[in-house]
A and B are shown apart, each in its own frame.
Chain A
Amino acid sequence: MSKPTPPKLFRRFFEWFCDPTMHDFIEGDLMEVYYSRFRKSGKRSADFHFIIDVLLLFRPGIIRSKKSNSNFTRSVMLSNYLKTSIRSLWKSKLHSALNITGLTIGITCFLLIALYVFDELTFDNQHTNVERIYRVIEHKSVRGENTVIATSGYKLGEESPHAIPEVESVTRIQRQGRANLIDPEHPVPFQEDIVTVDERFLQVFDFPLLIGDRKTALKEPNSIVLDEDLAMRIFGKVDVVGRIVQFNFMDETLKVTGILRKSESNTSLIFNSLLSESTFYHREYFQETMKSDWASDNFQSYALLRPFSNADSVARKMTDLVLANYKPDDGTSLYYTLQAMNDVHLKSAGIVDGARNTNVIAMPQGNPLYVSIFSFAAFFVLLISAINYTNLTTARASSRVKEIGVRKAIGAMRSNLIWQFLFESILTTIISFVIAVLLVNLLLMPFNLFVGKHLSLGISTSLRFWMYAIGFVILIGFLSGSYAALLLSGLKPVSLLKGMKVQLQGDFSVRKILVVFQFSISIIMIVATIVLFLQVNFMNSTDLGFNKDLMVIVDINTRAARTNYESVKNEMSKLAAVKSVSVTSRVPGEWKTIRTIKIRPDGSNNEHMVSYMFGADKDFIKTFEVQLLQGRNFESKNDSLSVILNETAAKMLNITEASGQVVEIPSRARGNEYTPFTADNSPFKPRVIGIVKDFHFQSLHDKIEPLLLAYNDNPMHTIDYYSVRISSADIQSTLDQLKAIMVKNDVEDPFEYHFLDDQLALFYIEDGRRQTLLGWTALATIFIACLGLFGLATYSIEQRVKEIGIRKVLGATTTGVVGLVSKDFIKLVLIANIIALPIAFWATNLWLQDYAYHVSLDWWIFAVAGLLAIGIAFLTISYQAFKSAVANPVNSLRSE
């Protein structure tokens, strides 16, 4: 019979903690007692008591002391590793400098990009309950036409907490437009977004309140919460709870009930004031419509679910709830989904940002493609610097074989040597990490300015970020040291000590592969940078079909400014510096939503098509310098039933010659639905009088869409802007004169203006940022790769110094020697070119498809990138190569 064994785990535990001087005896005791128990009462009871015994043995006096032998040697070895590491770093200063510089640059790039990516990924994460907050998304299909839009009706938010047990709370938000918000005692008109939320808003979200009670601040009618900046602007101080403000579109005054801390930069919900929804409860229209408002597009709702709820099933219940109370029209189907708050920033492609007036700018959207591109770039830079380390360390290994040999001969185990090398690499990485953190802090100011974020790296940085970053860096230290460690520690001591120069044959090919890899990535980055640079340049300089320069766009914000447009326009055109003035509902390069309409040729039975529309006066074509291809321009007030098409719209409507064809426009987009103009559903039927050449009225990311220019006095969209073309002389005084005219016309109207070219540049600011970010990353990559190459060249020439000496004695020329030395490395870069260029072509091609109008990928881009890489590599090597080539061979051959 085999003997029973006590629980292994506890026996091992005992062996681990027991004082070695007592271990044998006590273990004997334990076993003896165990067997006697086993005989008496069986295995289970014996096992149980064994465990108890072991646990009771775990006490001072029996636990080995900390300074037991094995630990002692370990700490001695650690301090020895530290000492030898520092000595070896110090001994070869060039090598260490190359290593540390490479790693520092790599880690710096990595940290900067990681901060950026981390910020994008943690968008909206400042809310404690962010995991449980969902945005309600409506999926609507009207006769086969699908819209996905972030809206819901009033009742859904009101009823679902009662009807659906998983829903803890729902809060509604409405962005109703813009209006003057003033302190009635000292009115200084300034346009602010009107954001209306219900009383639960501050309970679902954690926007921090400096002053006020988050439970009650938005409960009472006519309450408003301001953020500290806005309070400063209106009142000149922050503590203004209880003061009175007023929106100019409302009769009532509003009481300030709370002050919000300045909002964090990475939040999707942007506002600087919150108006209580209850303000409107007593109004007639509200009481009438909201009772039955189950499925309107008026609100954006955010639901706070109870922990461990399934969002999909809640969304189904919401759909059921709505459909139980509301019957959609025939041909219309409707369902709801819930989008996690975490996904709102990066995963909202295809979701319309609903419940906002067209005057309000949509939520900022992140681009997941770029987040992943940058993550890859950060990772690759780090990888390249790690490879660099590996390369340089293995290259230098031959100068350390003696040390390794001696260590082995006096009894170092392989594990000791591996630890020694790893320790060295981790030490180097840590040094680089510390320098990099300092460097990042220096660079953060310009970096923040340029990415438009408020990033910081310090104590306030989230712990999670530090953990990831430090973990990654230690991993990199580990990886970069491990190849050299494994390779060098495996050598035989005899061969190490006997022949002082060991050719590490196999490993040179590994190093070659690593160099090829480094340069491939560098080349891909160079190509990407060039292409993006050309693309951004293209977008900023391409002919848009209209003249964007020296154009001031003045917003029309009040009724007076709108109705008196004739006289305002007249006065403006009288100014000497003003060349031409036009009034329009929207402008080319528009930043707000451009209205769309349904359209078809009159008498046609086809489906209606969708076109964008501007209202424009007769001076539009002249002011914007748009080219009229055929037909005529608007001439007088009698043209209110005339329209002009752009080429795309003409093509869509099958009109080749503008000859007064009648088109039928039954409805216009309002919010996200198409609504008819009149109660009796009769369509608007204007005539086509002209066709203009296509111009880019939207950003170059989008294709030119059909566009209809209606007369400024039209039923579809009222005028919203004066566009003033000015001369370049003394712009400031021109602006002042324009302002005087606007103020004279209506004191209430704040003079709000934009320069059209600045506004257009905003479309491409993200592209510009990406270009710069990518450019710097590419620069860092190639710099690190060159550091590596420099180190390798130094080493390889050191190895061949005798060979070069003999060649020179035998008559080799300087160029011959330089060629000989450089050849090997240039070959590697050539191979890298062959690998990288097709990948670069494929990737950039894929990426340019994102732009509706883009540059073509010319062969020269790739040639430049390839030659650049070769050139830089050659320059790097040539210093060492020339030095060796012109050296006096006597010096290298004298001693043997």
Chain B
Amino acid sequence: MYDDFLSSIVEFNSIIFIHLDYIISLMKKFQLGEFEEIVILTIGILNNQAYSVSIKEEIESRLSRTVSLGALHTALKRLEEKGYLKSFAGESNEDRAGRPKRFFEITAMGKRAMIHAKDERDQLWKAIPKTIMQS
């Protein structure tokens, strides 16, 4: 009897925790890292022509910072895992030694995350007292 009671409590607790985990993970999902945000924005700019090398060049030309393939690919992989991007294999050319390109597209969830990020920034901007920026 007592054992049953105990096990039901444990079960209940575990259900609660699983849900909490899920909620936290949902909230996290809308989070974008700084570099991730730049990458996803660039993909938006490139519109259908976004693959790793073009993303790299675009960022480097617009933001005057160098981007390593390693950092870029990890970011892309993470974004895809979060469901913000989807990818498909594209054509190849001689320069790539016969290897296909991998093109990226922003998913609906990705767009929401971008908007969410922008909203957060705007909100913060608005909250800054005007006097601070004037001086």
Q: Which residues of A contact B (CB under 8 A)?
A: 22, 24-33, 35-36, 52-53, 56-62
- Interface core residue of A28, A36, A56 (most chain B CB under 10 Å): A28
Chain A binder among B41-49, B99-107, B124-132: B99-107
Distance in angstroms between the alpha carbons of A58 and B100 in the assembled complex = 21
- Interface core residue of B68, B73, B102 (most chain A CB under 10 Å): B73
Report chain B residues within 8 Å CB of A28: 92, 96-101
Verify A31–B95 contact, CB threshold 8 A: yes
Distance in angstroms between the alpha carbons of A22 and B69 in the assembled complex = 12
- Contact status of A29 and B74, CB under 8 A, knowing A35-B95, A53-B69: no
Distance in angstroms between the alpha carbons of A52 and B69 in the assembled complex = 10
- Mark contacts of B31-62 with chain A using CB atoms, 8 A cut-off: 1 yes-contact digit, 0 otherwise: 00000000000000000000011001000000
A sample of 7 more A-B contacts (CB under 8 A), given A31-B95, A31-B99, is A22-B73, A28-B98, A29-B69, A32-B53, A56-B68, A56-B69, A62-B74
Verify A61–B69 contact, CB threshold 8 A: no
Distance in angstroms between the alpha carbons of A818 and B95 in the assembled complex = 79
A-contacting residues, B81-135, CB 8 Å: 89, 92, 95-102
Report chain B residues within 8 Å CB of A56: 68-71
Distance in angstroms between the alpha carbons of A656 and B93 in the assembled complex = 111
Report chain B residues within 8 Å CB of A29: 52-53, 69, 73, 96
Verify B53–A33 contact, CB threshold 8 A: yes
Distance in angstroms between the alpha carbons of A191 and B96 in the assembled complex = 90
Report chain B residues within 8 Å CB of A58: 70
A-B contact pairs, 10 of them (CB 8 A): A28-B98, A28-B100, A53-B68, A56-B69, A57-B70, A59-B74, A60-B74, A61-B73, A62-B70, A62-B77
Q: How far is the CB of A158 from chain B (nearest CB, A)?
A: 66
Is B19 interfacial (CB-CB < 8 Å)? no
Report chain B residues within 8 Å CB of A53: 68-70
Verify B69–A24 contact, CB threshold 8 A: no
Distance in angstroms between the alpha carbons of A30 and B56 in the assembled complex = 12
Report chain B residues within 8 Å CB of A62: 70, 73-74, 77
In the complex, which of the residues A26, A36, A60 contacts B69, with contact meaning CB atoms closer than 8 Å? A26
Report chain A residues within 8 Å CB of B99: 24-25, 27-28, 31
Q: How far is the CB of A836 from chain B (nearest CB, A)?
A: 65
Verify A25–B102 contact, CB threshold 8 A: yes
Q: Which residues of B contact A (CB under 8 A)?
A: 52-53, 56, 68-71, 73-74, 77-78, 89, 92, 95-102
Report chain B residues within 8 Å CB of A24: 99-100
Report chain A residues within 8 Å CB of B95: 31-32, 35-36
In the complex, which of the residues B69, B92, B100, B101 contacts A33, with contact meaning CB atoms closer than 8 Å? B69
Distance in angstroms between the alpha carbons of A56 and B52 in the assembled complex = 15
Report chain A residues within 8 Å CB of B78: 61
Report chain B residues within 8 Å CB of A25: 52, 89, 99-102
Which label, helix, strand, loop or mixed, suits the secondary structure of the B interface? helix
Distance in angstroms between the alpha carbons of A61 and B68 in the assembled complex = 14
Verify B77–A61 contact, CB threshold 8 A: yes
Report chain B residues within 8 Å CB of A32: 53, 95-96
Report chain A residues within 8 Å CB of B102: 25
Q: How far is the CB of A2 from chain B (nearest CB, A)?
A: 13
Report chain B residues within 8 Å CB of A33: 53, 56, 69
CB nearest to A6 among chain B residues: B97
CB nearest to B96 among chain A residues: A28
Verify A61–B74 contact, CB threshold 8 A: yes
In the complex, which of the residues B68, B71, B73, B96 contacts A31, with contact meaning CB atoms closer than 8 Å? B96
Verify B100–A59 contact, CB threshold 8 A: no
Q: How far is the CB of B76 from chain A (nearest CB, A)?
A: 9
Verify A31–B70 contact, CB threshold 8 A: no
- Contact status of A59 and B101, CB under 8 A, knowing A22-B77, A28-B96: no
Q: How far is the CB of B84 from chain A (nearest CB, A)?
A: 16
Distance in angstroms between the alpha carbons of A24 and B102 in the assembled complex = 9
4 A-B pairs with least C-beta separation: A28-B99, A56-B70, A28-B96, A57-B70
CB nearest to B103 among chain A residues: A25
Verify A30–B70 contact, CB threshold 8 A: no
Distance in angstroms between the alpha carbons of A886 and B68 in the assembled complex = 83
Distance in angstroms between the alpha carbons of A57 and B78 in the assembled complex = 15
Distance in angstroms between the alpha carbons of A28 and B70 in the assembled complex = 13
Distance in angstroms between the alpha carbons of A562 and B78 in the assembled complex = 100
Distance in angstroms between the alpha carbons of A136 and B69 in the assembled complex = 66
CB nearest to A36 among chain B residues: B95
Q: How far is the CB of A230 from chain B (nearest CB, A)?
A: 69
Distance in angstroms between the alpha carbons of A30 and B53 in the assembled complex = 9
- Contact status of A30 and B74, CB under 8 A, knowing A24-B100, A25-B100: no
Q: How far is the CB of B86 from chain A (nearest CB, A)?
A: 14
Report chain B residues within 8 Å CB of A30: 69
Report chain A residues within 8 Å CB of B73: 22, 26, 29, 57, 61-62
Report chain A residues within 8 Å CB of B52: 25-26, 29
CB nearest to B99 among chain A residues: A28
Q: How far is the CB of B81 from chain A (nearest CB, A)?
A: 9
Q: How far is the CB of A179 from chain B (nearest CB, A)?
A: 79
CB nearest to A58 among chain B residues: B70
- Interface core residue of A32, A33, A35 (most chain B CB under 10 Å): A32
Distance in angstroms between the alpha carbons of A22 and B80 in the assembled complex = 12
Report chain A residues within 8 Å CB of B70: 53, 56-59, 62
Report chain B residues within 8 Å CB of A52: 68
- Interface core residue of B95, B98, B100 (most chain A CB under 10 Å): B95
Distance in angstroms between the alpha carbons of A22 and B102 in the assembled complex = 10
Distance in angstroms between the alpha carbons of A29 and B70 in the assembled complex = 11
Report chain A residues within 8 Å CB of B56: 33
Q: How far is the CB of A860 from chain B (nearest CB, A)?
A: 80
Q: How far is the CB of B31 from chain A (nearest CB, A)?
A: 17
Verify A31–B97 contact, CB threshold 8 A: yes
Report chain A residues within 8 Å CB of B96: 28-29, 31-32
- Contact status of A27 and B69, CB under 8 A, knowing A61-B74, A61-B78: no
Q: How far is the CB of B64 from chain A (nearest CB, A)?
A: 18
Distance in angstroms between the alpha carbons of A703 and B10 in the assembled complex = 94
Verify B97–A57 contact, CB threshold 8 A: no
Q: How far is the CB of A61 from chain B (nearest CB, A)?
A: 4
Q: How far is the CB of A49 from chain B (nearest CB, A)?
A: 10
CB nearest to B102 among chain A residues: A25
Report chain B residues within 8 Å CB of A57: 68-70, 73
Report chain B residues within 8 Å CB of A31: 95-97, 99
Distance in angstroms between the alpha carbons of A24 and B71 in the assembled complex = 17
Q: How far is the CB of A508 from chain B (nearest CB, A)?
A: 54
Q: How far is the CB of A310 from chain B (nearest CB, A)?
A: 51
CB nearest to B74 among chain A residues: A61
Report chain A residues within 8 Å CB of B98: 28
Report chain A residues within 8 Å CB of B92: 28
Distance in angstroms between the alpha carbons of A24 and B52 in the assembled complex = 12
Distance in angstroms between the alpha carbons of A30 and B68 in the assembled complex = 11
Distance in angstroms between the alpha carbons of A30 and B70 in the assembled complex = 10
Q: How far is the CB of B99 from chain A (nearest CB, A)?
A: 3
Distance in angstroms between the alpha carbons of A373 and B100 in the assembled complex = 67
Distance in angstroms between the alpha carbons of A31 and B53 in the assembled complex = 10
Distance in angstroms between the alpha carbons of A25 and B97 in the assembled complex = 11
CB nearest to A61 among chain B residues: B74
Report chain A residues within 8 Å CB of B100: 24-25, 28
Distance in angstroms between the alpha carbons of A36 and B94 in the assembled complex = 12
Distance in angstroms between the alpha carbons of A62 and B74 in the assembled complex = 7
Q: How far is the CB of B116 from chain A (nearest CB, A)?
A: 24
Distance in angstroms between the alpha carbons of A35 and B99 in the assembled complex = 14
Report chain B residues within 8 Å CB of A36: 95
Distance in angstroms between the alpha carbons of A56 and B100 in the assembled complex = 22
Distance in angstroms between the alpha carbons of A26 and B70 in the assembled complex = 9
Distance in angstroms between the alpha carbons of A53 and B66 in the assembled complex = 12
Report chain A residues within 8 Å CB of B74: 59-62
Report chain B residues within 8 Å CB of A22: 73, 77
Q: How far is the CB of A3 from chain B (nearest CB, A)?
A: 8
CB nearest to A19 among chain B residues: B77
